[in-house]
């Protein structure tokens, strides 16, 4: 199968539309290679449905780390046709690296609002999620915490848990604070949150939810869907 250096990228766990668009050019080959940050078992039902409907086989290459580096290193010889990832930060990195190509698709443009896709058509967002605060009903009163900004309030000193600030999920949250409050405002907020930590940042989002349950902290920063997975 011939391949080009540039790929189509999608963010989320819903891959069918993105893969279909990438595969259209090579549909005659009846095969497409998908590089994915999402574990294969999570997206298998969607990909199986896609194959059943189109007859195009999807080969999934799971890469927990180093996906961009692998694609760049392979250059024009990369077998990747499409990329499925999570978080806007990773999409930005893929685009900045110049490994994506623009895709013109009436189906994508009709079904995905403009603010959920790249203006140049290099990536498309298929689902959304939120970075939220998980709180103890017993130890946090209703109304005490209603915004991200509240996390920096002195009354939450020693009461907040979070994973590393270097993780993509928290980097995106920090970027949103910069967008809303500027660098100076975001830095002030970060210092306030740091002063309110109950422990050194550690673990994943599930670990933060468990910490609230165990009484280690009263508030945890997490993606919204982790509670439903526990």
**Domain containing residue 138: CATH number:** 3.40.190.10
**Most confident region among 36-40, 79-83, 107-111, 216-220 by mean pLDDT:** 216-220
- Whether residue 112 is found in the same domain as residue 144: no
- Whether residue 107 is found in the same domain as residue 25: yes
pLDDT (average), residues 37-57 = 88
- Whether residue 117 is found in the same domain as residue 141: no
State yes or no: pLDDT of 203 exceeds 60.
yes
Of 77, 82, 69, the residue nearest 34 (C-alpha): 82
State yes or no: pLDDT of 43 exceeds 50.
yes
State yes or no: pLDDT of 16 exceeds 70.
no
Mean pLDDT across the chain, nearest whole number?
84
Q: Is residue 3 part of a domain?
A: no
More confidently predicted of 5 and 175: 175
State yes or no: pLDDT of 223 exceeds 90.
yes
- Whether residue 188 is found in the same domain as residue 114: no
From CA 146, how far away is CA 54, in angstroms rounded? 46
> Which pLDDT belongs to residue 9?
53
From CA 221, how far away is CA 131, in angstroms rounded? 7
Share of the chain above pLDDT 90, in %: 49
Q: Is residue 142 part of a domain?
A: yes
Q: What is the pLDDT of residues 49-105, one digit of tens each?
A: 999 999 999 998 887 777 778 877 777 778 888 888 887 888 888 888 888 888 888
**Most confident region among 7-21, 40-54, 148-162 by mean pLDDT:** 148-162
> Which pLDDT belongs to residue 227?
77
Of 204, 201, 224, 209, the residue nearest 64 (C-alpha): 204
> Which pLDDT belongs to residue 29?
66
Domain that holds residue 100: 8-125
Dihedral through CA 178, CA 180, CA 185, CA 191, nearest 10? -60
Of 11, 21, 22, 169, the residue nearest 85 (C-alpha): 11
Q: What is the pLDDT of residues 94-127, one digit of tens each?
A: 888 888 888 888 999 999 999 989 999 999 988 8
The last residue of one of the domains, among 125, 145, 166, is 125
State yes or no: pLDDT of 4 exceeds 70.
no
Q: What is the pLDDT of residues 140-158, one digit of tens each?
A: 999 999 999 999 999 999 9
From CA 98, how far away is CA 80, in angstroms rounded? 14
> Which pLDDT belongs to residue 65?
76
> Which pLDDT belongs to residue 151?
98
| Count of domains forming the chain | 2
- Kindly provide the b/e burial profile for residues 209-224, where b requires at least 16 CB atoms within 10 angstroms of the residue's own CB: bebbeeeebbbbbbbe
């Amino acid at each position: 199968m011939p391949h080009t250096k540039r790929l189509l990228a999608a963010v989320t766990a819903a891959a069918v539309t993105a893969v279909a668009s990438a595969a259209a050019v090579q549909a005659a080959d009846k095969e497409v290679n998908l590089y994915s940050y999402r574990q294969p078992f999570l997206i298998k039902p969607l990909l199986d449905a896609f194959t059943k409907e189109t007859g195009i086989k999807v080969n999934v290459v799971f890469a927990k780390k180093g996906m961009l580096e692998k694609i760049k290193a392979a250059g024009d010889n990369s077998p990747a046709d499409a990329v499925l990832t999570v978080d806007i930060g990773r999409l930005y990195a893929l685009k900045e690296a110049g490994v994506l190509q623009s895709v013109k698709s009436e189906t994508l443009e009709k079904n995905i609002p403009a603010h959920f896709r790249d203006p140049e058509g290099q990536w498309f967002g298929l689902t959304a999620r939120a970075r939220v605060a998980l709180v103890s009903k017993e130890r946090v009163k209703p109304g005490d915490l209603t915004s991200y900004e509240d996390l920096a309030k002195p009354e939450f000193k020693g009461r907040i848990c979070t994973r590393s600030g270097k993780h993509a999920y928290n980097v995106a949250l920090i970027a949103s604070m910069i967008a809303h409050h500027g660098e100076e405002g975001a830095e002030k907020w970060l210092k306030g949150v740091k002063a309110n930590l109950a422990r050194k940042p550690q673990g994943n989002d599930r670990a933060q939810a468990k910490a609230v349950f165990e009484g280690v902290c009263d508030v945890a920063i997490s993606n919204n869907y982790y509670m439903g997975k526990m």
